[in-house]
Amino acid sequence: MARRTPAQTHDEYPDEEYMTTIPRVELEVPEDIRRRWEERGDPIVKYPAEVLRQTAKPVEKPTAATRELVERMKSAMIVARGVGLAAPQMGVSERVIIYQLPEEGAPLRVIINPRIISMKGEQVGPEGCLSIPMLQGDVRRAHEIVVRGIDMLGRPIKRRACEFEARVIQHEVDHLDGILFMDRAEAGTLYWHLPGDSEEEEDAALHE
């Protein structure tokens, strides 16, 4: 069993500094959690790095540097055993996301300048984030979305996604606007999960 520690939150960021009206939740990261983050040894930027709260810039035209960034994102995501990653989590404030659903043979998808153009329905489920390891909370998301963007060659992409895939995309697109999942978490559902003898419980939630 993992030990559950309620997450302490305090003052919200002032609204006017940010593009959207989602209140930013600030977290107190317990000392032992921070020590465990340091022991993980993955290259992913951890909370409260400022880049995670910035609005990322669009990519004008994918270049060799974009491809190199995507390669670094892929290997970081694999090392951290995540399902999705956004460029700000590598310290790069650009609008690039990748994800790979945890299903046999699922392709790794790259969306540059993603824009969610439609949202339908609702789902509530547990989320976690590779930039805030061991924190979990329930987040309400649209059940079905349509996302547009471009691929690595600059060609337009449009993808309809629902359920888990829709949740992953919404979580990653939020990263590009400096929004973290705890900003949207349902009241009273944010907990630190310290892995105990088994890591199964930590792995139960989505890691992005």
Which residue lies nearer to Zn ion by CB, 44 or 112?
44
Q: Which stretch binds Zn ion (CB under 5 A): 23-31, 129-137, 143-151, 185-193?
A: 129-137
Which residue lies nearer to Zn ion by CB, 47 or 66?
47
Q: Residues 94, 165, 183, 208: which binds Zn ion (CB under 5 A)?
A: 208
Q: Which stretch binds Zn ion (CB under 5 A): 26-34, 60-68, 184-192, 200-208?
A: 200-208
Q: Which residues pair with 5 in a beta bridge?
A: 192
Which residue lies nearer to Zn ion by CB, 99 or 150?
99
Q: Determine the 3-state secondary structure of 100 from DSSP.
A: coil
Residue 129 CA to residue 151 CA, distance in Å, equals: 24
The per-residue DSSP string of 167-188 comes to: HHHHHHHHHHTT--HHHHBPTT
Q: Residues 92, 129, 147, 168: which binds Zn ion (CB under 5 A)?
A: 129
User: Does residue number 70 form part of the binding site for Zn ion (CB under 5 A)?
Assistant: no
Q: Determine the 3-state secondary structure of 166 from DSSP.
A: helix
Q: Is the link from the previous residue into 48 a cis peptide, with omega within 30 of 0?
A: yes
* Assigned token pair, 97: 């996301």
* 170 within 8 A of 116, measured Cβ to Cβ: yes
Q: Which stretch binds Zn ion (CB under 5 A): 29-37, 55-63, 64-72, 121-129?
A: 121-129
Which residue lies nearer to Zn ion by CB, 43 or 154?
43
* Assigned token pair, 147: 């996302």
Applying CB under 5 A, the residues found at the interface with Zn ion are: 129, 208
